[in-house]
Amino acid sequence: MKYIVCEKPGKFLLKEKKEPKKEYGKAILKVKKVGICGTDLHAYSGNQAFFDYPRILGHELATEVVDIEDNNKGIKVGDNVVVMPYISCNTCIACRNGKTNCCSKMQVLGVHTDGGMQEKIIVPIELLIPAPNLSDNAMALVEPLAIGAHAIRRAQLRPGEDIVVVGCGPIGIGIMKLAQIAGANVIAIDVNQNRLDYVKKTLGVEHIVLAGGEALDKISKITDHNMATAVFDASGHKGALEFGHNFMSHGGRYILVGLSKAEIAFNHPAIHAKEITLMCSRNATLEDFKHVMAILEKGKFPIDSFITNNVDFNDMITNFDSWLNPENGVIKATVNF
């Protein structure tokens, strides 16, 4: 079967290998569609944390079961399933406390171990979620949206809150839409005016702010000088991560969703004076996945406009470089099999 491997930064190869063999407790899946996320783009560019080469990328998957044993989930051959790509140990203290998303021995498909950029993949049955009512496009969006859902749940958003989301990439857009559904008032910040225009037009985000010298004053005016009670960083940019707390009110929460390889620093008197709650949000849990799937089933997310680029498997390598350039208007790219 065919697969695409990232041999090293900047280099993909299309190869062939034998199909996976059946293993106890695992299912063989036909990959139907793969979403390209920031992790994949960063891995290709050589600036992804927790990463080794060579690696088969891909963890945003729409799949169909082609081989599976009898199981307590009732999943059978031919079923469409969403894959939770986080392989946790189920024994460490995080797992025992229900935080499988930050397992101390975490293995993420397409990051720590090979992912779905191949015609078939074998994964533990426990990672599968039946998706009888979702299209291939919707299935491929569940994982990135679940990242946003988990961040919102971590922040314990309340209806009516003014929040800031820094970064209008796929994760940031997901956070914005899910926060709106939770009743929050969203303020979007980005360096790309086209992305800001998209969230205003498509999501109905009332307040958009171009990142830069005037952003702080604009946020202050929008919030009647109170600032935002929750700030989400979905950029992963060092400068943005270090500055984002300035958009936050006294007594607010700062949620770091984007990931940077760099060391970051804060001015302690500034964050101490506000008694900020600083939290990181990593991956997602089954609860987050099911929440997102229910939202997608109800048609509450703009799937069609969100997926801006779609190519066949054999054309991925030639198109990938173009997806790195924000000027090309890419929000979410997907690959068909």
pLDDT digits (tens, 9 = 90+) for 13-59: 999 999 999 999 999 999 999 999 988 998 998 877 778 899 999 99
Plot region of 10 (φ>0 → left; ψ -120 to 50 → alpha; else → beta): left
Mean model confidence pLDDT for the chain: 96
What is the Cα–Cα distance from 40 to 152, expressed in whole angstroms? 23
What is the Cα–Cα distance from 167 to 195, expressed in whole angstroms? 9
pLDDT digits (tens, 9 = 90+) for 246-279: 999 999 999 999 988 889 999 999 999 999 999 9
Residue 110: exposed, middle, or buried by beta-carbon count in 10 A (0-12, 13-18, 19+)? buried
What is the Cα–Cα distance from 260 to 137, expressed in whole angstroms? 28
On the question of pLDDT at 207 being above 80, the answer is yes
In this predicted structure, what is the pLDDT of residue 51? Answer: 81
Tell me the pTM: 0.95
Domains of the chain: 2-132+302-336 (3.90.180.10), 147-280 (3.40.50.720)
Per-residue CA distances from 64 to 31, 75, 239, 294 (Å)? 7, 10, 41, 19
50 vs 298, higher pLDDT: 298
On the question of pLDDT at 171 being above 90, the answer is yes
